[in-house]
Every structure is written in structure tokens, then in C-alpha cells.
Chains A and B, each alone.
Chain A
Amino acid sequence: MSRQNGKLKLMVVDDEPDNLDLLYRTFRREFEVLRAESGYSALAQLETVGEVAVIISDQRMPGISGIEFLSRTVPKFPDTIRIVLTGYTDVEDLVEAINSGKVFKYITKPWDPEELRVVVRQASETYRVLKQRTEELSRALQREYLLNAITTAIRESLDYTSILQTLVNTVGQTFAARLCVLRPVEYNPRTAIFQLSPQHFQYTPPDQPPQTELPATLELLEQAAVDTLQTQVADEVLPSPELSCDHACDLSVPLIHQKQPLAVLSIVQCCRQRSWKAEDLRLIEMVAQQAALALSQAKLYQQTQAQAQQLESELEVARQIQFKLLRQTWPAIEGVRIQACCHPAQAVGGDLFEVFVHPRGDIWLAVGDVAGKGVPAALFMASLLSVLRREISQADAYVPAEVIATLNGSLAEDLISNNRFVTMLLARYTPATRELTYASAGQVYPLLWSRQALLAGLEIPQVLKARGVPLGILPVWRGDSETLTLQPGQTLLLLSDGVTDAFLNRTPGQNGLTPAEVASGALPGQGGLWRLIRSYGAGPLDLNQLLAHLQQRTGRQEDDQTLLSLEIL
């Protein structure tokens, strides 16, 4: 703008030195007056000094006329107020010049200095208003642009680091900063203070290298902004050797969210005598508010991501623990063949199985299901397995029902308070006598069939129906137990409800049991399972294959699926 020390610039152009001198003397007190003796030299001067507020030009000059000269200044300095000094004879040219907006007023020669003063005062006032409006408009545009750029930064990236860099670039460019620094603030729980992060993000103009050394005064200003939660403007304009700048104006504004500082934004301008204007400060603070919002969102997102990742890795740990717990090996036992497999529906599941051969010769088999899925179910499963293993490896004359009662005794309190329960079937097989004793705590009924009957097309296998309440329902377990003698060629299949449920048709009323199934006491879904087993015919029973086929035909798996078989050879 054409203002320096508060005085507007006025240019006077006349080929007569006396007139030029008179004009100079008339206005020098109120204006910074520039003189030119011709249109060409005036144009040359404007090239170097830039815009002036008012130009007064004589019309009749050698070279180009006043109106022509003034017309030529229009494209470059549209806001300048142009006045022409003229005799009556030039009316035609003048009317055209005024009508086309190139000349503001004309003064006839010889002029009355007082009248000219009034006209020029009017002109400079018009210029001032015009400038003010233009500035307001451009500030509004700038604000619009800046807020837009920041909102875009928020939308385009949720990555914390890239948001910080975008913010500092946008602000730096908009305020034509020599240096712009955005420094995160960290809360130190030990000292209970907010401290400046050692890392920062910076903007320097494209023609300047990145700043390796920041101005020494900047950190104090940043810290003050964080401590006071107020914008800080450096009291003095000092030379900054770091920026090779004689007059560095520093400004630091805190980015605050929920009354806590998130970061501090600093702008340094090489500004000669200009200092920060109130409007600039308002704009910067507004930007800081928006930026704080963007930053808090990005931070939140970053935290959520980190938590999700942590959860994921915890889940992986749980999955591995569970895998190891369920990865059991058992010795080959003469006269029997045992298989077991478990397909969890999620990374970790609530199903479990156990095969344990007691040194005395008994074989313990268990299939269980902790209601619910995920990590909590897996944790209950793990503690259940460890108690179960301890119990069955101990006493000799222990029977399944007693073991289940003991398990219930030690786990019921935890299960009840967590609103969970566990179903489980526990069986003990003694190879020497081929005697099987089992008790069930709400587990799906096991199936028992002989190879001969299977090959003969048995419609439904025998269903073992001794039952009991699940663990974690009653303080003292209640349930039945059954003992039977198995025959060579017979297969016992223990299963979880994830297997039978997978066979159910999801359309209501479509799962009616056949009369044979009803008669056997089979559960919905067991008929479907049996038909699948029967389809293998004389081939050996393969539980992995069975579960794979099950998944093929039922699609999405909703619950854990576990199978355990005992074949008497």
C-alpha cells in the first residue's frame, strides 16, 4: 500500500517547473509528494515506487497527454485516484476520460489552491475508504481460504504427522512467514506440567532452506504461550542471526482443546517496522482453534488405532495360549482310536476338549463350551482346563460326576459373578473293562453307534442322555451320571452345540425332528450330523474332514465347533 509513516503518497506531474513547485508546496505537509515532469518519467517513477494514492497531472505536456498518461496507470493501479489539470479547450477528451472511469475529477487552470486542496482531500479520503474495503475483503478471502485449507487438511488425512505438516505449511504460506513452527505439547505426568516436545514441524518459504537452528527467543515465547494459554507476541522486534533477518517479529499461539494445550504454533516474519495487526492476530487465533480441533481428532484417531493394534496383538497372544492349551498329544493306546478337533469361530473361542490317559490306564475325555466368545471366554476356558487337568490326574477312584462337582465348586463363584456358565461332558473309559462312565453338565448329548449298524443304514444312533446343569448355575452341582459297556466296533462322539446348531435350518418350523429322532431323544441338528457321518460309508471316521464338510455346507461359522471321538477297535 502507498502509505508510509501514515502519510499517503501523492504524485504531481507537470512540465512547467513553477506549477510543479507550487503543487509540491501545496501538499507536502499532508502527503509524501512525488514529482515528475512528463508522463513518461511519471510512469518510470511508478514502476519503482509502486502504487500512490492520488495522481494530479497536467493535461498538456510534451510526449503523452495527461489523460493518456493517467489511462496507462489504470491497469496496474486501479485504486489510485486520478485528477487532471486542464484548460477549457480539452472538454471532449475529458468527458470521455471521466465517463470511462479513468479520471476522478478535473481542475481547470488556473486553479484555486484551496479548491484543489478540497478536491485532493476528497480524493485521498475516497482512496482510503477504497483501500480499507479492499483490505477487509481480501482478509475475509484470506480467512476463508485458510479455514478451508485447514478443514481440507482435517478431511484428507487422519494421520497425525501429516496434519501437523499441512497446518504449518498452510499457515506459513498464508501469512508469508519467514518461518513457521508447529510444536506438539506433551503432558508429563511425573512433573504434572505441559512441556514442549523436542520435535517440531516447520515451514520456510520455497526460496529458503529448512531452518536447522531456530531463533533463540522462540522457545521462550512458545513456553509462555503454553503456560498462559494466551497468544504471545514478542515485545521487541530484534534481529535474528539464525534467520539472517534484521527485524524478526515473533508470535506464538497455543492450540487448545478442552482447556489443555495440544501444540503451539509460532510465526516469524521479517517485517521491517511492521508489527502484528489486531486483525491478523484474530485470524491466527481462529486458525489455531480450528487446528486444535483437527489435531485432537487426529490424536484420538491415533490412540484408537494404537489401542486396536494392542487389542489385536493381545488377541493373538490369547489365541496362541489357547492353541497350546488345546494342542494335545496322547499316546497310541491299544484297542482304541481317539481323535479331537476344534474350530474356533473367532481368533479365540470358548470351546475346549481334553484327552488324558491316566497312568493307571483310564482314559479321560472331555468336551466343553464356555458361553460367549472372545478373550473372556478363552480365559475361563484356560482356567477350567487347568483345574480339570489337576483333578483328573489325581485320585484313582474319581468318577466324572465328582470331578464336575469339584470343578463347579471351584469356578461357580467367578462364573456366576461374571454371568457366564460352562457346559461340559466328562467321560472316563477303562480299556480293561471297556467300561464308560460319563456325566454331563448341560453339554449336547453324545452319540454312540456301531460300525455294523452304520453300514446297515441306521436311521439314528444311540443318544446318551444323562444330563446335568451347566457349571456356574448352581452353587452345588446337580446332575446324573451313566455307566455303560462299550463294544468293539462302536464309536462314541462328543460334540459342542456349534456343530449341531450349524445343521439347523434358519427358517422357523423347518427343523422338525423325524419320528426316529424324536424316539431316540436326538437334538435338532443331530439328525443332519448323522446323515453326514453316514455318507462316508465304510471309510474311516475323519473328524477334520467332517468339520471341513460342515463348514462348506453351512457357510459362515457363528460358534466354535468341537468334535471328539473314541473308537473301540
Chain B
Amino acid sequence: MPDETLKLMEQRIHITSDGLKVLVLKPAGRLDITSAWQFRRKLQECIAEYRYVVLNLAQVPFIDSSGLAALVAGMRDAEKIKGYFRISNVNSEAYLVFEVTMMDTVFEIFADEAAALESRVDGIA
């Protein structure tokens, strides 16, 4: 497997001003057909454990349709347990995947981590 595939995620806990405990995930590498399944599992665990997850995609240069499927699954997991799954820092090339599929209107996507964390829970991006 080439080394540019998704690296183990950097993660931290952030407590928002209204006391919400949010997990911030920051993967690095391509989110594609070779890494999507593993990523999906990781995301599933994180959402089940923390309910509120922000995914910082600053270090993800590329997302393919399998990667997108993993993100959709994350969104559904969060909806099921009334948490949230927010995306931030999408770089321009990766953003095209959201644009083509119009998923930029379906996901909660924010410019940066701070915006994602500060947005109210009932607020829709």
C-alpha cells in the first residue's frame, strides 16, 4: 500500500463554550477506495463514542466516491443518535467532489475548525 494512503488520525477533544464535548478528527492522506473502509470503521467508533464529531480535512488532498460514501455513512450515524458530523477545512481539489455531487448542500461544511465548533447545534450550515 502506498504511503500516501490515509494515516492514523490525529484526534483531540474540544469542550465548546456551551459545554459540549466534541471530538475533532484530523486524518492525513487520500480518502479513497483503498482507505475508505478502514476510515468508515474508525468514524463509526468515534461517532458512537462522542456523538459530536468535527472532521478536519485540511490534510486530505483527495476524496473519491468510496471516500464520499464513508462520509455519508458518518453523517447517517450521527443523525441516528442525534449528534452531529461536521466537516471543516476542505481543500479546493477535494471540495470538487462535494460540489459535483451537490453534497456541499447536504453535509455541514465549515471553513475552519473554529467555525465548525462554534456553530450552534440546531444551526444548519
Given known A-B contacts A423-B101, A559-B64, A508 and B4 have beta carbons under 8 A apart: yes
- Residues in chain B within 8 A of chain A (CB atoms): 2, 4, 29-30, 32-34, 61-62, 64-66, 68-69, 72-73, 76, 93, 96, 99-103, 105-106
Q: Which of B4, B68, B93, B105 contacts A371 (CB 8 A)?
A: B68
Given known A-B contacts A511-B93, A558-B34, A559-B33, A419 and B76 have beta carbons under 8 A apart: yes
A436 contacts chain B at the CB level, 8 A cutoff: no
Q: Which of A506, A508, A524 contacts B96 (CB 8 A)?
A: A524
Smallest Cβ-Cβ distance to B66: which chain A residue: A371
Stretch at the interface among A44-52, A354-362, A467-475: A467-475
Q: Are A474 and B4 in contact (CB under 8 A)?
A: no
Residues of A within 8 A of B93 (CB): 511-513, 524
A528 contacts chain B at the CB level, 8 A cutoff: no
Smallest Cβ-Cβ distance to B40: which chain A residue: A419
- Residues in chain A within 8 A of chain B (CB atoms): 369, 371-373, 416, 419-421, 423, 442-445, 467-470, 473-474, 478-479, 497, 501, 504, 506-509, 511-513, 523-524, 558-559
Given known A-B contacts A419-B76, A506-B2, A467 and B69 have beta carbons under 8 A apart: no
Q: What distance in Å separates the Cβ of B95 from its nearest Cβ neighbour in chain A? A: 11
Residues of B within 8 A of A420 (CB): 69
Residues of A within 8 A of B65 (CB): 369, 371, 423, 497, 559
Smallest Cβ-Cβ distance to A559: which chain B residue: B33
Kindly list the 10 A-B residue pairs having the minimum CB-CB distance in the complex, ordered from nearest. Answer: A442-B101, A508-B61, A371-B69, A469-B102, A419-B73, A467-B102, A558-B33, A371-B65, A497-B65, A501-B64
Q: What distance in Å separates the Cβ of B90 from its nearest Cβ neighbour in chain A? A: 14
Q: What distance in Å separates the Cβ of B14 from its nearest Cβ neighbour in chain A? A: 26
Residues of B within 8 A of A509 (CB): 61
Q: Are A445 and B100 in contact (CB under 8 A)?
A: yes
Q: Which of B64, B66, B99, B106 contacts A473 (CB 8 A)?
A: B106
A–B Cβ pairs within 8 angstroms, 7 of them: A373-B33, A419-B72, A442-B100, A445-B100, A467-B102, A504-B62, A512-B93
Q: Which of A416, A423, A506, A559 contacts B30 (CB 8 A)?
A: A506
Residues of A within 8 A of B100 (CB): 442-445, 467, 523
Most buried by A among B34, B62, B105: B62
